[in-house]
Chains A and B, each alone.
Chain A
Amino acid sequence: GAVVSQHPSRVICKSGTSVKIECRSLDFQATTMFWYRQFPKQSLMLMATSNEGSKATYEQGVEKDKFLINHASLTLSTLTVTSAHPEDSSFYICSEELAGDNEQFFGPGTRLTVL
């Protein structure tokens, strides 16, 4: 499978600040990556599909101006949570899919805590 890294693994910030989370594909070039959010004791919810060289596709109910996604290269996608608030505190996980067979490989996740 693919190896995906995320940075940082944990971040604590004050309300109103912006936080950038990086997702890197370490062994494959990924034209498409996915961003998920997971609240405690809940399942993964897809936030957006990140497309290299084009705009991300956001799921219904996800504010594109709040969760900025940039996929400028085939190995890096970034998620920026702008003007973060306590309700944005969550576990953010990215993934990539290989070979179009629907198997997604996930990064280790980023725990965001907004005070």
Chain B
Amino acid sequence: GQQLNQSPQSMFIQEGEDVSMNCTSSSIFNTWLWYKQDPGEGPVLLIALYKAGELTSNGRLTAQFGITRKDSFLNISASIPSDVGIYFCAGPGRGTSYGKLTFGQGTILTVHP
């Protein structure tokens, strides 16, 4: 089946630093979604990308849909303590049944004040 490889697995940064994480796939994805999950909560959608090359921002977050349609990255600028959590990329891929998403392994972000 389709797999998403997300890196890094974890990051430990100081408050105020910028963060970058990425997701790659062996197959083409038609949509890239980035979610954040706080401990004990369900994931929350941060950014959705639909076109190759698309660059979208949501506050301090910026995500891009890779031109090859096999990768995406998420940047967080000027990190703050509440950015702590697990960030997941996800996508349906080509040929995937309606609505079924594949998730990356997640990036655990720790922000030191």
Contact = CB atoms under 8 A, between A and B. Distances in A.
Contacts of A43: 88, 103-106
B42 A109 contact: yes
Nearest to B105: A43
Contact of A105 (B45, B91, B103): B45
Contacts of A106: 35, 42-44
A109 B105 contact: no
A64 B67 CA distance: 39
The listed residue with most B CB atoms (<10 A of its CB), out of A42, A97, A102, A106, is: A102
Contacts of B98: 32, 100
Interface string A95-109: 101001111111111
Interface residues of B, number: 25
Interface of B, helix, strand, loop or mixed by DSSP:
loop
B99 A44 contact: no
Contacts of A1: 45
A49 interface: yes
Contacts of B106: 43
Given A43-B104, A43-B105, A93 B42 contact: yes
Contacts of B61: none
A46 interface: yes
A85 interface: no
Given A43-B106, A102-B92, A106-B44, 17 more contacts: A32-B99, A34-B99, A43-B103, A44-B43, A44-B103, A49-B99, A91-B40, A93-B42, A95-B42, A97-B99, A100-B98, A101-B31, A101-B50, A102-B91, A106-B43, A108-B41, A109-B41
Interface of B: 30-31, 33, 35, 40-45, 48, 50, 88, 90-92, 97-101, 103-106
